[in-house]
Amino acid sequence: MDSNKKLGLIGRNISYSFSKKFFRDKFQKLMLKDISYDIFDLKEINEVEGLFSDPQLLGFNVTIPYKEKIIDYLDELSDEAEKIGAVNCVVIQEGKKTGYNTDAFGFEKTLLLHKKNHHTSALILGNGGAAKAVQYIMDKNGIPSQTVARNSEINFENLDAATVQKHPIIVQCTPVGTFPNVDDCLKFPFEGLSDKHLVIDLIYNPSYTQFIINASGKGAKTVNGYYMLEQQAEKAWEIWNFQKK
């Protein structure tokens, strides 16, 4: 890589960040001294234009709440980012800005690691950028899914235990319960869960959200977002490196 290249993460209120530690550890292991990974906390998405003017910037990850909003600032999207309608990885090469979605890759690896034959349909809780990546992977793997969001047909007010029983995969894609608000929990009929359920909460901090604790109490197999996060970061690294070769 060229001297003193920069990578980073854009989002809002992102002082805590898995990515920063992950990439700094990676650079140390690979003995890369000429590359840095920083947090770019943007109050508004248009502040990204200031970042784009930095010639050392090779690319960045994107987190809440900009995975969809960043698209207007990019020149091109990969196939999966276009289909999903959300971006969490941006590459800048010779001034051209391309968006990718590595959340989908990370989620698919998580899902296939834990999915059993009886896990035939899913409820996706939330409808932001991460939920769109989850939906894309469900479609890709032929798993029928329904979105539960504030304004969807099934919403957090009318979701009942019977509906939960019918969907053995539950994916929690909202930020409710993320550090520091660890006592918060999405309104959800946990009594509909059983040991036949696979419950994936995309949050990784804390490791055990209130949602996971409640689901686990009903016998469900529970998984947090850590492996997905690790896998999407590895994929982003692969994309940034490939562009430089």
CATH tag for 5-101 (out of 3.40.50.720, 3.30.70.580, 3.90.1170.30, 3.40.50.10860):
3.40.50.10860
Task: Enter the CATH code of domain 104-227.
Answer: 3.40.50.720
Residue appearing with tokens 């990718």: 100
Length of the chain equals 245
With a cut of 80, say whether residue 232 has pLDDT above it: yes
pTM for this entry: 0.93
Of residues 1 and 72, more confidently modeled: 72
CA 151 to the chain's CA centroid: 21
Least confident among 39-53, 156-170, 231-245: 231-245
CA–CA separation, 52 vs 58, rounded Å? 10
- Across the chain, what does the average pLDDT equal? 95
Among this protein's residues, is 21 annotated catalytic? no
With a cut of 60, say whether residue 245 has pLDDT above it: no
pLDDT of residue 14: 83
Choose the catalytic residue: 67, 115, 132, 235.
67
Q: What is the percentage of the chain residues whose pLDDT exceeds 70?
A: 97
Got the DSSP string for 37-106? EEEEE-SSGGGHHHHHT-TTB-EEEE-TT-TTGGGGG-SEE-HHHHHHT--SEEEEETTEEEEE--HHHH
With a cut of 90, say whether residue 196 has pLDDT above it: yes
With a cut of 90, say whether residue 1 has pLDDT above it: no
pLDDT of residue 4: 86
**Residue boundaries of the structural domains of the chain:** 5-101, 104-227
pLDDT tens per residue across span 11-21: 998 876 789 99
Least confident among 2-11, 210-219, 224-233: 2-11
Instruction: Specify the DSSP element, H or E, that contains 132.
Output: helix 129-140
